[in-house]
A and B are shown apart, each in its own frame.
Chain A
Amino acid sequence: GAVVSQHPSWVICKSGTSVKIECRSLDFQATTMFWYRQFPKQSLMLMATSNEGSKATYEQGVEKDKFLINHASLTLSTLTVTSAHPEDSSFYICSATWAGTQYFGPGTRLLVL
């Protein structure tokens, strides 16, 4: 139980394009999901809290207009990286909360050329 999936697992795009990443809770409903970035050999950095049916809450320093989050249902949250640039290349991880515990997706590796 408590399985979280992400799609795609990796994506390569050109600078200036937008990329959408999906996060799904497969066997439970999650009113709250989280989006993280993980840089090589570093810990997870929380980007934003995704709340079903309401606006996401962004951490300090994260541009909400660049990283658009939509949590339209209890099992799906999406992160759209708009006008991606090479510095946005990273490993993006989502998690979904169930019974007070976060369960993590496998991550999406984004490479912006």
Chain B
Amino acid sequence: AQSVSQHNHHVILSEAASLELGCNYSYGGTVNLFWYVQYPGQHLQLLLKYFSGDPLVKGIKGFEAEFIKSKFSFNLRKPSVQWSDTAEYFCAVNYGGATNKLIFGTGTLLAVQP
């Protein structure tokens, strides 16, 4: 079955620390990959996406993610987090087809301490 797993349910970091959130998906051929962020009290916003091309994708607010096909992974990174990055982060995968349906990971709650 198609599935997406995020290994860390909660992450607590101090400001300026580096961040890496894991995301793995089950095999399914060609995939489109997404990271969304949900700030407290706000709606889901797109951070970045990968469809094809350079596997290192840069998104908004200094985030980037690397698609490693052999590992079925799409980990999210940021070299130096800020207090304002406190939010919940969701990895999502589209396994193709005409509907653009997304399978979401369970989310990782990031808390950045000032």
Q: How many A-B residue pairs have CB under 8 A?
A: 45
B100 touches A44 (CB 8 A): no
B105 touches A43 (CB 8 A): yes
Known: A46-B101, A49-B101, A104-B36. A93 touches B90 (CB 8 A): no
Which of B32, B44, B106 is A93 in contact with, Cβ under 8 Å?
A: B44
Chain B interface (Cβ < 8 Å from any Cβ of A): 32, 34, 36, 42-46, 49, 51, 90, 92, 94, 99-102, 104-107
A44 / chain B contacts, CB cutoff of 8 Å: 44, 90, 104
B104 touches A43 (CB 8 A): yes
B106 touches A42 (CB 8 A): yes
Known: A46-B104, A97-B100. 18 other contacts (CB 8 A): A32-B99, A43-B105, A43-B107, A44-B44, A44-B90, A49-B101, A93-B43, A93-B44, A95-B44, A100-B32, A100-B51, A100-B100, A101-B34, A101-B46, A101-B100, A102-B92, A102-B100, A104-B45
Chain B's closest residue to A57 (CB) is B99
Query: How far is A5 from B100 in the complex, measured between Cα atoms in Å?
Result: 20
17 contacts between A and B (CB under 8 A): A32-B100, A43-B106, A44-B44, A44-B104, A49-B99, A49-B101, A57-B99, A97-B100, A100-B94, A101-B100, A102-B34, A102-B92, A102-B102, A104-B36, A104-B43, A104-B44, A106-B42
B-facing residues in A28-76 (Cβ within 8 Å): 32, 34, 42-44, 46, 49, 57
Chain A's closest residue to B36 (CB) is A104
Query: How far is A46 from B93 in the complex, measured between Cα atoms in Å?
Result: 13
The smallest beta-carbon distance between B112 and chain A, in angstroms, is 19
Chain A's closest residue to B106 (CB) is A43
A42 / chain B contacts, CB cutoff of 8 Å: 106-107
Query: How far is A42 from B6 in the complex, measured between Cα atoms in Å?
Result: 12
Query: How far is A102 from B47 in the complex, measured between Cα atoms in Å?
Result: 12
Known: A44-B90, A101-B49. A34 touches B101 (CB 8 A): yes
